Amino acid sequence: MPTLIHEVDTPYRKATFGMGCFWASDALFGATPGVLRTRVGYSGGTSLDPVYRNLGDHTEVIEIDYDPKVVSFEDLLELFWNNHEYGLTARIKKQYTSLILYHDEDQKRIAEIALKKEIYKRKEELVTEVIPAGIFYPAEDYHQKYRLQQHSWLCEALGLTPELLQTSHVAARLNGYLVGVGAEENLAKDVVTLGLSEKIAEYVKRHYEQNKGGSLYC
């Protein structure tokens, strides 16, 4: 069997966004070229040790490790603006607030400029907040790569432990492809580069074809 590419030893930067339910954004970004790893969790607040049933003042967010030589922060922001489930133009509960959590001053500058441009382009007020990235609390195991985890035999075949659900490159990719996200030509390349067996590759391709163009949302 080919060696699965769980680990990617590439210099990376982090991006963290709140876009509504984090299952959808986990799939969306996972299938984006240049994204190395994704994990979902809670951030943006001050309460300690949030859990799904008691978030306190935190928000559902996705944390992304990305290769800036392949995908830019601006590219990721384009996906951010255009793929909210809700909360971009109307204030809803804190759990689903639209957030850009910046990791350095460069990200802050880019995000603030992008927010102004997006408001001008849409001709409507956006409620997105741009705030410093604080502590990230990983969500419970069953939230990580939620779409992928619906295929239990595949997770077993991939050898996905709870830790790998947050760190595996192949898990991030397949979590998107299985629900029809990403470009078909990228899937064709990744079938080889990710080290997928023929059985897994055919299974993923079949689900990609069945689901592409459908809704990501919860």
- What amino acid positions are annotated as catalytic residues? 21
Residues 147 and 100 in one domain: no
Residues 91 and 169 in one domain: no
Alpha-carbon separation of residue 177 from 26, 49, 71, 89 (angstroms): 11, 32, 18, 29
Which domain, by its residues, includes 66? 13-138
Which of 138, 163, 187 is where one domain is finished? 138
What is the total count of domains within the chain? 2
Which of 111, 138, 165 is where one domain is finished? 138
Residue 218 within a domain? no
Of 88, 141, 146, 153, the closest CA to residue 114 belongs to 88
pTM over 0.85: yes
Residues 91 and 46 in one domain: yes
Residue 217 within a domain? no
Count CB neighbours of 200 within 10 A: 22
* DSSP per-residue string spanning 44-83: SS--SS-BTTB-TT-EEEEEEEE-TTTS-HHHHHHHHHH-
**What is the distance between the alpha carbons of residues 177 and 187, in angstroms, rounded to a whole number?**
7
Q: In terms of pLDDT, which residue wins out, 193 or 3?
A: 193
Q: Count of residues for the chain? A: 218
Of 16, 7, 211, the closest CA to residue 98 belongs to 16
**What is the distance between the alpha carbons of residues 45 and 8, in angstroms, rounded to a whole number?**
31
Per residue in 161-213, pLDDT (tens digit) is 999 999 999 999 999 999 999 999 999 999 999 999 999 999 999 999 999 99
Residue 7 within a domain? no
Name the strand (E) or helix (H) holding 16. Answer: strand 13-18
Residues 181 and 101 in one domain: no
Residues 127 and 164 in one domain: no
Residues 166 and 126 in one domain: no
Per residue in 62-118, pLDDT (tens digit) is 999 999 999 999 999 999 999 998 889 998 899 999 999 999 999 999 999 999 999
Residues 30 and 115 in one domain: yes
Backbone angles phi, psi at 79, to 5 degrees: -65, -40
Print burial letters for 120-158: b (CB count within 10 Å at least 16), e (below 16): eeeeeebebebbebeebbbbeeebbbbbbbebeebbebb
